[in-house]
Structure 1
Amino acid sequence: MNNNHEKIHQHNQIFGKKTELYFAILSGVFLSIGFLVEKATEFPNWIPSLCYLFAYFFGGYFISIEAFQKLTKGGFDIDFLMIAAAVGAAYIGSWPEGALLLFLFSLGHALESHAMNKAKKSIEALGHLSPKSAVVKRNGKLEEIAIEELKIGDVIVVKPNTKIAADGVVISGSSSVNQAPITGESMPVDKTFMAFSGNLPKLNEVDKKHIVFTGTINGDHMLEVIVLKLSMDSSVSRLIKMVSEVEAQKSPTQRLTLKFEKWYVPIVILVVFLLCFAYLIIDESFEESLYRAITVLVAASPCALAISTPSAVLSGIARAAQKGVLIKGGKALEDLGSITSIAFDKTGTLTEGKPKLTNVIPFLNYDEIAFVKLVLEVESLSNHPLAKAIAHDIKTQYQIVPQNKASDVKAMHGMGVKAFYNADEVFIGNVKLMHISNIEVTEHVISKMGNLLDNGHTVMLVAYQHQIIGLISVMDTPRKSAASTLRKLKEIGIKHMIMLTGDHQNVGDAIGRQIGLTEVKGNLLPEDKVEAIKTLLQRDKKIAMVGDGVNDAPAMALSTVSVAMGAAGSDVALETADVALMSDKIERLPFVIGLSRASKRIIKQNIFISLGVVVLLVPVTILGLTNIGLAVIFHEGSTLVVVLNALRLLRYETN
């Protein structure tokens, strides 16, 4: 639905929002009464004529205003063709046919408007998610204030089973939160509090388990949340703003049909004008030539074509938004549907994004529990991210806590750590650390390390009392859903799935084998990823790039379609990506690609239907083989079919 039509509709709401639909129905009612009175009674002729006149008024009201406004700007469009056809029908005395034309056209217009509004409302419903007020904790007291009065740094109290009033970080309490309105996740997500030191954290630097979003619904426990974004900057507000802008980004097919209409409408007007004078060449009256010309005018109007693409695009975008996926316009929707190659960032996209303890291997018959206790004591005193990950996983897997038996932990840059445990030296790190510490690394140890390194693990040797007593390994493990997602992508026809990573090639290859990638490119700097995308574009013509929208922005910008994961709360991801998966779930990818393909399919069907009817009707009407009534029914019927076909996308589900 174009913006001009919306403005006209807003300024003429006699019966509220459905005024246009009621006018169309009144047109049909007066048309039916006029027809019945004319055919079935002996009433004077002025009665059915008056009914047809009312049918003309109600059927032509909105489209006449719109056509006039466009005409004053020098534009001829479909509305103008319809008004011209109706006036022509009245001129030759075919009042019932003209009234039927206006009734069906106005009904099509109204249903088109309804279809568009339904698609928009399913997105704009997000705007009603934000609560109108929030309970704020100030000076130890609770007070309820309007959402607009919230300030960054305020602490809001979220009661059980109520909506969260702002984007922020949980600083007290733990609860499960229903994030479906923002991310489309069907299951509630556990949120826990973060220790708060006084300095406001940045939202994109906080673990997602501590972050809550405006409009999401708290579970059974009370939370205290520190506000980090005002309502106008929240994820939900940004989402609504971006959805309202997607219509401006027309799809390639839409741009093509608009170009076609620009030339087609004046040609139709010229042909119809010439047909009015067919009586000069063939044996018929001026009235017959005029009737034929008006019938051709009805048949040739590309109403269904005009609505075929925008209705499908908007329905597709609306369906994606219901599932927590923001598609920015028709171009991204159509492009994604034609993709057969996808490049993935590794960390946080195909993998969990944080190292996990993968192997604990004691040597020399060393007791495993004693071994992990020693490692835990040392690593729990280090601030290195790998040390923190190892300490966390040992505590979780072995259910033990440090006893503060280690001391004097010293980081050995690029090699590991050195410490004292029960008055003896401990070294945890790489082979180089062992060599400079005069600790022998046997062939057996090298062999054990080699197997793990080949499979992408980061390996650390553990030495105590001047001998190696075991090794531990960590790895950024694949997401649980990665393998099944890639399998589904392969099933729906994605031929090339490539991982681009800055990690060592061995690490990439190991993960690639586990989850079923077709290619892995390792040791890549950000500029190398850009070159990799250029190479893939030359080979595959089109490529989608999936990442977090931050680290890989240059490579994503170069790709045909960029897809950002976990975009809720990330300004950069929302702004740079063509498609934003609001949740952190890679398994949404097959759904959104399937939806894009369904949208492309429906756009093609709609264009085939709309052009097919025009191609069929125009020759038939030029040859005078049908009357204006049948032309109207076929023509407007195709418009309704196209709209209803597009609305099917609102119920799209993956197989």
Structure 2
Amino acid sequence: MVVQQEEVHTRSFHSISNNTTELFFALFCGVFLLIGFLMEQFTTLTSWTSLSSYIISYFFGGYFISIVATKKIIQGGFDIDFLMIAAAAGAAYIDKWAEGALLLFLFSLGHALEHYAMDKAKKSIKALGELTPKTALLKKEGTLKEVAIKDLRINDVIVVKPHSKIAADGVIIHGSSSINQAPITGESIPVDKTFIEDSTNLASFDQIEKKHIVFTGTINGDHSLDVLVLKLSKDSTVSRLIKMVSEVETQKSPTQRLTKKFEKWYVPLVILMVALLCFAFLIIEEDFDTSLYRAISVLVAASPCALAISTPSAVLSGIARAAQKGVLIKGGKALEQLGEITSIAFDKTGTLTEGKPRLTNVIPINELKERDFAQLVLEVESLSNHPLARAIAKDLKSWYSIEVTNLAEHVVAIQGKGIQATYLQEKVLIGTKSLMESVAIELDQDLNSKMEQLLKNGHTVMIVAFKNKIAGIISVMDTPRNTAASTLKRLKEIGIKHMIMLTGDHQHVGDAIARQIGLTEAKGNLLPEDKVEAIKSLLLRDGKIAMVGDGVNDAPAMALSTVSIAMGAAGSDVALETADVALMSDKIENLPFVIGLSRASKRVIKQNVWISLGVVVVLVPATILSLTTIGLAVVFHEGSTLIVVLNALRLLRFNKA
């Protein structure tokens, strides 16, 4: 990572250095242009003095442009820089040195300011490379030693002092603190983190609860932490972000690809038209110099500089703004296409819901009081390692302020049906209706109707039997995220017409969640291959669709969608690799912002294309008809280039859905 950071900093330094030099060269070009003009107009010095000043102006103005044009010619192509050099050379040929120098001054100044402005868009992205501290405090055999982060190894333990940056992706094994994760996830409020109780048999980094893991470059709060390193510096989340962000700059948007195709045939066509205009004196009554002057003016007017920069400047600004808010957008294609979406499919678990089952009902039946019934269930469920049992036990303790007294024993899991145990030397069964039927325990009509009502509302119901008769029922449910309903409402307000849940849960569960949070449709009982078929049918119906999920279980369906969006991608290698858009934090409320940003970017791209083409459409006929000079053509031409760049930079301030 240190090597990578040094490379990023080196590239950044050279970029800044070149841009600064280019800007100074452009200014020197302007200074010598002004000196030459003043000597020519207001002194009696020989023409060679002003010409010398113009030649120096040519050198400074044409230096960087000539380098770019030469490289392109060697590669077998012609671009806008070549057209500018040709125009300046033509102006010198017809003894219009002042206008040629003005052309080079404004063009080189435009180039320099354009690069300077684009660097502003890149700055927020390149800042990622500065997140990682260079050293870490390694804890070994009771002593602390400062080491370079490149020397850290998997399973090393590092100490993170209060208010310092975290040096590696890992899991907290000692201590609790609030962590500022804004550099990675964009979350404005620090997140409480605590140690994991058992660090001897860890799951993969992606599967550890988020409250236990920390990321490189995030900032510790008021308390010291011991962190077990789980990723090498080159594999850390921030390193992957740096790599991916550098790659997205090269991924072309549809509009960008279209403008590149346009430029490919447009530039040779301009060269051909200019060559023909040089011989206009053979057809109309004028001298060769007049025809050449007109041709050079057309060359300036027809150069599509603004068009060339219009899309990449907007794309880069949009991606940079998203990165500031903790969202990784992988290139212009995803940025543009997301803005065209009017239908979104959602995975349920962990996307629209918390992904953690919660106890929803405790209903005693017959002689047991509610608290006694809750104690019975707690004693039995606390013996099971099943995630559902752990969730029930946790919520029972919280609801009733009770603790396990170890009065239950001999727990046995009955596959697919529930569990059996003894409590106070009596048999207890907790599970499905079929479990009760298998031991000949009957359910009365009243109990059946209560269960049916809960099932219709999306609850998972378990029956509890004690002493061979029904003691009561409990229900659990994966509850919606607190922000899900408000997020979907906002999506509807900004024009998302169809919001569909795709879930493997029962249709009743899907329908219940859909009613609670405002989905337009829910499809339940879906296997992964069924979700793929559902996406296919939605594509046929709506043309384009985005899918939001975790990027792991729903990878096939997400890959088929027009744009795939991964939730909570921080730390998840799979989500970062598979999704077109990665929400680094686990916050669905960022979705309206991303869609709004995409639409704003698309609007800016369209505006820029129309501005750049409009200037060409107006200027070319005006110069052909000799209604404008080279100087005026340059002013309009370079003015349009700066306008589209400044228009694109407005995206860096985008802050609404």
Pairwise TM-score range, normalised by the shorter structure: over 0.9
Structure 2 counterparts to residues 336-415 of structure 1, below 5 A: 336-364=338-366, 366-415=368-417
Q: Deviation string for 1:260-315 (max 9, x for gaps)?
A: 00100011001101111111111111111111111000000000000000111111
Structure 1 partner of 2:37: 35
Note if contact 1:362-1:469 (Cα within 8 Å) is conserved in structure 2. yes
Structure 2 partner of 1:249: 251
Note if contact 1:157-1:225 (Cα within 8 Å) is conserved in structure 2. yes
Q: Distance in 2 between matches of 1:14 and 1:411?
A: 66
- AA partner of residue 392 (structure 2): I
Structure 1 partner of 2:312: 310
**1:199 CA displacement:** 4.0
**1:14 CA displacement:** 11
**1:580 CA displacement:** 0.7
**1:485 CA displacement:** 0.8
Is the partner of 2:179 in helix, strand or coil?
A: strand
- AA partner of residue 72 (structure 1): I
Note if contact 1:12-1:19 (Cα within 8 Å) is conserved in structure 2. no
Structure 2 partner of 1:3: none
- AA partner of residue 358 (structure 2): K
- 1:331 equivalent in alignment to 2:333: yes
- 1:212 equivalent in alignment to 2:214: yes
Q: 1:426 to 1:560 in 2, by over 3 A?
A: same
**1:421 CA displacement:** 1.7
- AA partner of residue 458 (structure 2): G
% of aligned pairs identical? 73
Normalising by structure 2, report the TM-score. 0.96
Structure 1 partner of 2:619: 617
Structure 2 partner of 1:631: 633
Structure 2 residue ranges without an equivalent (≥5):
1-7
Note if contact 1:15-1:22 (Cα within 8 Å) is conserved in structure 2. no
Is the partner of 2:588 in helix, strand or coil?
A: coil
Q: How many pairs are equivalent?
A: 648
Greater alpha carbon shift after TM alignment, 616-625 vs 403-412: 403-412
Q: Distance in 2 between matches of 1:391 and 1:191?
A: 23
Structure 2 counterparts to residues 258-297 of structure 1, below 5 A: 258-297=260-299
- AA partner of residue 187 (structure 1): I
Note if contact 2:186-2:326 (Cα within 8 Å) is conserved in structure 1. yes
- AA partner of residue 612 (structure 1): G
Q: 1:365 to 1:43 in 2, by over 3 A?
A: farther
Greater alpha carbon shift after TM alignment, 186-195 vs 31-40: 31-40
Q: Distance in 1 between matches of 2:398 and 2:75?
A: 71
Q: Distance in 1 between matches of 2:59 and 2:475?
A: 80
Q: Distance in 2 between matches of 1:68 and 1:547?
A: 48
**1:465 CA displacement:** 2.9
Q: Deviation string for 1:371-392 (max 9, x for gaps)?
A: 2111111111111211111001
Is the partner of 1:248 in helix, strand or coil?
A: coil
Q: 1:359 to 1:568 in 2, by over 3 A?
A: same
- 1:445 equivalent in alignment to 2:447: yes
Structure 2 partner of 1:25: 27
User: Which of 498, 501, 504 in structure 1 is aligned with 2:503?
Assistant: 501
**1:45 CA displacement:** 3.0
- AA partner of residue 361 (structure 1): I
Structure 1 partner of 2:531: 529
Greater alpha carbon shift after TM alignment, 92-101 vs 487-496: 92-101
Note if contact 1:439-1:468 (Cα within 8 Å) is conserved in structure 2. yes
**1:15 CA displacement:** 6.0
Q: Distance in 2 between matches of 1:494 and 1:14?
A: 42
**1:431 CA displacement:** 1.6
**1:177 CA displacement:** 0.4
Note if contact 2:173-2:199 (Cα within 8 Å) is conserved in structure 1. no
Q: Deviation string for 1:100-127 (max 9, x for gaps)?
A: 1111111111122122222222111111
Q: Distance in 1 between matches of 2:434 and 2:13?
A: 78
Note if contact 2:551-2:567 (Cα within 8 Å) is conserved in structure 1. yes
* Superposition RMSD in Å: 1.7
Greater alpha carbon shift after TM alignment, 610-619 vs 581-590: 581-590
Q: Distance in 1 between matches of 2:136 and 2:621?
A: 66
**1:142 CA displacement:** 1.0
Structure 1 partner of 2:4: none
Structure 2 partner of 1:113: 115
**1:394 CA displacement:** 1.1
Structure 1 partner of 2:592: 590
Q: Distance in 2 between matches of 1:546 and 1:39?
A: 67
Greater alpha carbon shift after TM alignment, 20-29 vs 475-484: 20-29
**1:68 CA displacement:** 1.2
Normalising by structure 1, report the TM-score. 0.96
Greater alpha carbon shift after TM alignment, 414-423 vs 303-312: 414-423
Q: Distance in 2 between matches of 1:224 and 1:562?
A: 36
Note if contact 1:13-1:19 (Cα within 8 Å) is conserved in structure 2. no
- 1:465 equivalent in alignment to 2:461: no
- AA partner of residue 552 (structure 1): D
Is the partner of 1:597 in helix, strand or coil?
A: helix
Q: Distance in 1 between matches of 2:334 and 2:578?
A: 12
Q: Deviation string for 1:390-423 (max 9, x for gaps)?
A: 0011112222211111122222222222222222
**1:49 CA displacement:** 2.2
Is the partner of 2:539 in helix, strand or coil?
A: helix
Structure 2 partner of 1:85: 87
Q: Distance in 2 between matches of 1:245 and 1:487?
A: 34
Structure 1 partner of 2:3: none
Greater alpha carbon shift after TM alignment, 195-204 vs 574-583: 195-204
